Structure 1
Amino acid sequence: MSKNLSQLARRKSVEHTLFQELVLSEQEQTPQGKAKLAKAFLVGEAIVQGTASFYDFIEGDNANKQAYVCNGSSCLCAGSQDKVVDKLSEHFGKGNVGHVTCLGRCAQNSAFQIQGNNFSADDIDNLASIAKDPKTQSKEHYHVACTLDEPILTAEIDNVAKYYQLFTELVNNYSVDQLLTKVSDSGLRGRGGAGFPTGFKWRSCLEAQGGEKYIVCNADEGDAGAFSDRYLLEQRPHAVLFGMLMAGYLSGAQTGILYIRDEYPDAIVNTEKAINEFVALALPMPNNWQFRFKIIRGAGAYICGEETALLRSIEGQRPVVSVRPPFPTQSGLFGCPTVVNNVETFGSIHFILDTEHTGEQSCGAKKYLALGNGKSTGSKLISLDSAFVKPGIYEVAMGTPLAEVIALAGGFSKSIKALHIGGPLGGVVPVSKIDELSVDFESFAEAGFLLGHASVIGIPTEFSMIDYMAHLFEFTAAESCGKCYPCQIGSTRGQEMVENAISGKQAIDETLLNDLLETMQLGSLCALGGGVPLPIQNILQYFSAEISPFLNSSNTKVQEA
């Protein structure tokens, strides 16, 4: 069925998608509008309704609210949101306030959104004036620092025309094979968390049979605590566009799609502006090859950060995870060969392929390879939340000791007992383990953690770890696409088990919990259900004394703790 729907969606192309009609037009969200869309896209009305009902911002209890409060892990740990909820509810009425996870304002917290505009820090104290004019400038501030001799992702782009001259120089002086070899030789691996070799992925798409191919930038940065993608799209959008342009040329694609989450309005505006600047350059293209960019605006679904769910979302289907193989490079968007990469991955390409000022013997690819530990190369952006004295975005070489990054940020701003690194599915690292870790995929994996997107949230000493476990299960249960039972049912049962223990209703059967976590790890189709057991297991391992009062192998009521 999904293959047929993909082909039907292909008729309209990315310029006219069912999903964007639903997102951008309130009229199309009415029963009459949905019936009209079903007829236009040659699908049943149930398909349109099924798609619309999946997203937080289209239908459901959380749609069309006057204000939204961030309920992400960072704001939760900061303890800032009770005040925000109270003030928003007082002003708009409790029924008019929804929630969102997360707004990427983790450096300041107290995050909320009004009419598509984001706010944080002390903005809540000026709610009356903001409500009158939601376009009021937010007081957001975060640090941006780089420890490299030559910045890669944080480098300033002063002259846009000159920046894109590199593309013309490369296509005129190197073959596709030579340029793909440079990308592979750099050791660049996907920065979205999976760490898959970028050069291999692009070459796979090039070699795939298909007259139509696509490049998709996964900018659905939904990991709580992560705001590096937002930084790049707001401050360095041309670095991302250049990477997508090169990916298109090297894989044979002529369309680049940026799927940007609705929670990042400034990223959408600034990227659209950058696209217009690129078009105005009218770069000469080789052999009548052309490349166009298209922004797809998300609608509040964390699972769309998973590449196959993201592709189904663009097509206008319910964004559920697809079984692989086939992989997207063989059969992706509309059933065509597709490259899907993260924002930061594309942002690294200009440096890797740049030969200006360096010469062939010390080109960007070799410089990039020289950074890191040989397996994890280049630089990495790290998002540090308000638990640090100087929260913000830090660009460091792969392999940099984690303790060095924390020192660079001035240390902790409060008493911290653990760091949650890599988003909701990342590991919970006790402070005692910090000195053993370095910023690379291997170090974290060997220690039983996950670098992921490299978001870092500080969990305060006084914050209850059993409450944090409940938060993680609740998040997974709410965001599961529902396709596989280990994730959908497993996360719900996990949430019930933990909440029953917290309330004193029934202790957690430790054997049953371990069986549940193993089933989720082994049986889930994607990293959502398969990943959440990691932080839960870390908490059980390193904070056993705190959790043990809630565990009981005989499955009796919890003893008062």
Structure 2
Amino acid sequence: MSKNLSYLSGRKGLSTNLFEELGNAVQKTGLLQDTDMERIRQEFLVGKATLHGTVSFYDFLKPENQHKKVYVCNGSACLCAGTQPELKEKLSRYFEAHEIGEMCCLGRCHENAAFHYGGKNFSGKAIDQIEGILDEEISLEDNYQVGVYGTPVLTLQFQGFSSYEEILKSCFQKPIAELSEELKKSGLRGRGGAGFPIAIKLDSCRNTPAEQRFIVCNADEGDPGAYSDRYLLEKRPNSVLLGMVIAGYIADATVGVLYIRGEYPESIAIIESAISEMEKHQLIGEDILGSGFSFHFKIIKAQGAYICGEETALLSSIEGQRPEVRVRPPYPAQKGLFNLPTVVNNVETLANLPFIISKGGNAYGVIGTEKSKGTKLVSLDGHFRNPGIYEVDMGTPLSVLVHELGGGFKQAVKAMHIGGPLGGLVPVSKIEDLSIDFESFSQEGFLLGHASIICIPENFPMILYIEHLFEFTAHESCGKCFPCRLGSTRGKEMLHKARTSDYTIDRKLMDDLLETLEIGSLCMLGGGLPLPVKNALEYFEDELRVYFTNDQN
């Protein structure tokens, strides 16, 4: 979108935010009323087309969801678990068909049967207490296993605000160059999937001349099967916030923005409370601990769009624009939110900073492998005997995670989709060949990504799963580049037709489509989709052969 729209949105800063204004206006009645549109248009000096383009994109703001009262999770984990048809049937006893919508994903992958009602998420056996939920007589909290194999970094218990005060004091007493060097020694790479060193981002942001800079926490954890960010937001919120303060100090940024999924209502409430607590202890705000450094937080509630997990789309979303992926360069560290220098990192990356600053970069750098330092949070879905969140040293054998920590599978599984919808589709025969680190997965033709694990049962059709991946991409595409917008839709159509009729797909046509998506897409949504599809075609050729023709003439 136009950089001028970024400037217009930034006129009011973050105190009066265009995206929030649109969300609040729609939430009142389910529609953007003409009176609200005119008021917002005049206040922010933007056109009606811009406002319509934004509102019509998000799942929670679309007019078709106006009368929805309950939402069923349609994420990959719940799909493979097979829990949703029965769940939907039970909900239909209490809601009309037009009152039941869908959300993706609610982060309840450890027990599935997930649904959203009344601003809260439920899963597992909660549906059996639906009457109490509807009457607001009961409040249910999900529970899952949390384990450690190696060095606890992210799963460490909160040591109290006095320990945080000491960390910040030591931080403020050191030159920025020294702190930056500690980050470089740590070797910390982005945990959202890209694996880019955070130290480079922070230095680049600081060295870009500007009167204002931002630290943005990408808490839009949209990968179906992943709930490690949710764990940190809800169980270790102070680590995330302190990490953002430290990042702000190193990058000379005074504002931290947490862009949190609307599908995670509990996370938003817990982070709001944690910010208030840190304010009480004077660890954020003006002149923190007399250092002369100030840092303030702003929470932005997302409105249902997977593409906002891509950093430039996320920035456009905060600005109230349609969340389309931006062409790079320039990179956000030079020109990001409101065209100002911005560091965007995911929740897990930022939550590592307190450990690194307090223990030193070398203490973190000795954990893991030569190129993949530190630990990694891994999400295991409900097909494991011990589903939950596990923190493991980078380099931990995948077999240890699956068989020892996860306890093995509850039923026969043929593949694991690791790293979200764009991650590698790993057949169980490859478990012994992989370890939890970036290089191992890359060398074997997979992608570690977010390190969430979704199991595909033996009896689940692989053709249906890859059709689901195309359908997911088609729904979530920002629409800016045609390889993703059109290619994902054509792929979905071909696979659906082959699965439901005697039509067979020309394999060369599919290969050409995957190549176009891979090299022609602007971001990893379209560009990453071919990886799991190629994995499926390679490792499950016998199962998929009936749906394809290999006519070489």
Q: What's the TM-score once normalised by structure 2's chain length? A: 0.97
SS in 2 for 1:90: coil
Alignment correspondent of 1:3 = 3
1:115 aligns with 2:118: yes
Partners of 1:65 and 1:96 within 8 A in 2: yes
1:533 aligns with 2:530: yes
1:101 aligns with 2:104: yes
Alignment correspondent of 1:383 = 379
Alignment correspondent of 1:459 = 456
Alpha-carbon deviation of 1:24? Answer: 2.7
Alpha-carbon deviation of 1:505? Answer: 4.7
Question: Which of 463, 467, 471 is the equivalent residue of 2:468?
Answer: 471
Q: After superposition, where does 1:142-541 map in structure 2 within 5 Å? A: 142-149=144-151, 151-172=152-173, 174-283=174-283, 284-285=288-289, 288-355=292-359, 364-406=360-402, 407-541=404-538
Alpha-carbon deviation of 1:467? Answer: 0.4
Mapped to 2, the partners of 1:81 and 1:287 lie a distance apart of: 53
Query: Is 50-59 or 276-285 further displaced after alignment?
Result: 276-285
Mapped to 1, the partners of 2:228 and 2:498 lie a distance apart of: 36
Query: Is 204-213 or 228-237 further displaced after alignment?
Result: 204-213
Kindly provide the CA deviation profile for residues 317-345 of structure 1, in whole angstroms up to 9, marking residues without a partner as x: 00000000000000000000000000000
Number of residue pairs the alignment of both structures matches: 545
1:545 aligns with 2:542: yes
Mapped to 2, the partners of 1:473 and 1:449 lie a distance apart of: 18
Query: Is 322-331 or 56-65 further displaced after alignment?
Result: 56-65
Partners of 2:67 and 2:98 within 8 A in 1: no
Mapped to 1, the partners of 2:166 and 2:149 lie a distance apart of: 27
Question: Which of 124, 127, 147 is the equivalent residue of 2:127?
Answer: 124
Kindly provide the CA deviation profile for residues 461-482 of structure 1, in whole angstroms up to 9, marking residues without a partner as x: 1000000011000000000000
Opposite residue 144 of structure 1, the aligned amino acid is: V
Mapped to 1, the partners of 2:100 and 2:330 lie a distance apart of: 42
Query: Is 253-262 or 152-161 further displaced after alignment?
Result: 152-161
Partners of 1:70 and 1:99 within 8 A in 2: yes
Alignment correspondent of 1:361 = none
Opposite residue 397 of structure 1, the aligned amino acid is: D
Partners of 1:62 and 1:99 within 8 A in 2: no
The gaps in structure 1 that reach 5 residues or longer are 356-363, 556-561
Kindly provide the CA deviation profile for residues 290-323 of structure 1, in whole angstroms up to 9, marking residues without a partner as x: 1001100000000000000000000000000000
SS in 1 for 2:414: strand
Partners of 1:57 and 1:64 within 8 A in 2: no
Alpha-carbon deviation of 1:170? Answer: 1.8
Alpha-carbon deviation of 1:17? Answer: 1.0
SS in 2 for 1:140: coil
Question: Which of 37, 41, 55 is the equivalent residue of 2:40?
Answer: 37
Alignment correspondent of 1:54 = 57
Kindly provide the CA deviation profile for residues 98-130 of structure 1, in whole angstroms up to 9, marking residues without a partner as x: 000100000000000002100000001111221
Partners of 1:69 and 1:85 within 8 A in 2: yes
SS in 1 for 2:505: coil
Alpha-carbon deviation of 1:64? Answer: 4.6
Mapped to 1, the partners of 2:74 and 2:450 lie a distance apart of: 19
Mapped to 1, the partners of 2:64 and 2:268 lie a distance apart of: 25
Percent of aligned positions with the same letter in both sequences?
Answer: 51
SS in 2 for 1:420: strand
Opposite residue 279 of structure 2, the aligned amino acid is: V
Alpha-carbon deviation of 1:554? Answer: 4.7
Opposite residue 408 of structure 1, the aligned amino acid is: L
Partners of 1:120 and 1:139 within 8 A in 2: no
Partners of 1:389 and 1:412 within 8 A in 2: yes
Opposite residue 469 of structure 1, the aligned amino acid is: I
Mapped to 1, the partners of 2:387 and 2:139 lie a distance apart of: 20
Partners of 2:228 and 2:378 within 8 A in 1: yes
Kindly provide the CA deviation profile for residues 174-214 of structure 1, in whole angstroms up to 9, marking residues without a partner as x: 10000011011100000000000111111111111111100
Q: What's the TM-score once normalised by structure 1's chain length? A: 0.95
Opposite residue 274 of structure 2, the aligned amino acid is: A
Q: After superposition, where does 1:12-23 map in structure 2 within 5 Å? A: 12-23=12-23
Opposite residue 55 of structure 2, the aligned amino acid is: A
Alpha-carbon deviation of 1:503? Answer: 1.2
Alignment correspondent of 2:143 = 141
Kindly provide the CA deviation profile for residues 9-38 of structure 1, in whole angstroms up to 9, marking residues without a partner as x: 111111111111122333482221111101
Partners of 1:214 and 1:337 within 8 A in 2: yes
Mapped to 2, the partners of 1:94 and 1:104 lie a distance apart of: 24
The gaps in structure 2 that reach 5 residues or longer are none
Kindly provide the CA deviation profile for residues 268-297 of structure 1, in whole angstroms up to 9, marking residues without a partner as x: 011001100111112434553210011000
Mapped to 2, the partners of 1:89 and 1:21 lie a distance apart of: 33
Mapped to 2, the partners of 1:518 and 1:498 lie a distance apart of: 17
Kindly provide the CA deviation profile for residues 445-494 of structure 1, in whole angstroms up to 9, marking residues without a partner as x: 01000000000011101000000011000000000000000000000000
Query: Is 138-147 or 266-275 further displaced after alignment?
Result: 138-147
